[in-house]
A and B are shown apart, each in its own frame.
Chain A
Amino acid sequence: DSGVTQTPKHLITATGQRVTLRCSPRSGDLSVYWYQQSLDQGLQFLIQYYNGEERAKGNILERFSAQQFPDLHSELNLSSLELGDSALYFCASSPQLAGDRDTQYFGPGTRLTVL
């Protein structure tokens, strides 16, 4: 158990809908990262937050947004969903900025299926 929790575990929805994925980082970790893993693809970095502020952006679509709250939990919002958004979404946390080469601890992921 990494100490990172993600809810829900599974989500099935229809095209055009909007969903929210939730992540609670390990106790004491200030950085939260979101990744997308599509079929047979590596982990694609989406976005990073550090202590409530956006720190880095990767290949995140404009239809997607995220935020980190004062209690350090984070939410990833996916809107106007398309079939291609079906994927595993992982959240990870680390104590400091990625530039410090901290190990990232991953949650179990949320499997999103868009029908």
Chain B
Amino acid sequence: DQQVKQNSPSLSVQEGRISILNCDYTNSMFDYFLWYKKYPAEGPTFLISISSIKDKNEDGRFTVFLNKSAKHLSLHIVPSQPGDSAVYFCAASAWGQNFVFGPGTRLSVLP
């Protein structure tokens, strides 16, 4: 039973345009969400997080939106750059619990 879903295995975007990566979750107890980025042959690196008390968090070109009623979050990258090409993992946790990761979405930013 996948509690965190990323239904798009891959996404291609033109350089300079917006990339939107989506994540859905089923566990209503989840109240903290993160995005990690992973390059080949490297471990995942933390990108941005959001708590359920907020519906938006911004860090430079990266913005995460949380829609609690829909149990949906999205990561927006504007503008997309070729160096953003990587696999992006969404993760969620309930208080006191370990993170549950989604299967990842491979983003390709085309020059």
- Distance in Å: Cβ of A103 to nearest Cβ of chain B: 5
Tell me the number of A-to-B contacts counted with CB atoms below 8 Å: 57
Give every chain A residue within 8 A of B97 (Cβ-Cβ). Answer: 98-99
- CB within 8 A of A45: which of B6, B98, B104? B98
**Taking the complex as formed, is A58 at the interface, i.e. its CB lies under 8 A from any CB of chain B?**
yes
Interface size on B, residues (CB 8 A): 26
Q: How far is the CA of A24 from the CA of B43 in the complex (A)?
A: 14
Give every chain B residue within 8 A of A90 (Cβ-Cβ). Answer: 43-44
Interface string of A16-53 (1 = CB under 8 A from B): 00000000000000000101000011111100100000
Q: How far is the CA of A99 from the CA of B31 in the complex (A)?
A: 11
Interface string of B98-111 (1 = CB under 8 A from A): 11111110000000
**Taking the complex as formed, is B30 at the interface, i.e. its CB lies under 8 A from any CB of chain A?**
no
Interface size on A, residues (CB 8 A): 25
**Taking the complex as formed, is B25 at the interface, i.e. its CB lies under 8 A from any CB of chain A?**
no
Q: A103 near B46 (CB under 8 angstroms)?
A: yes
**4 interchain residue pairs of minimum CB distance:** A106-B43, A43-B101, A42-B101, A99-B96
Residues of A within 8 A of B (CB): 2, 4, 33, 35, 40-45, 48, 56, 58, 90, 92, 98-99, 101, 103-109
Residues of B within 8 A of A (CB): 4, 6, 9, 32, 34, 36, 41-46, 49, 89, 91, 93, 95-104
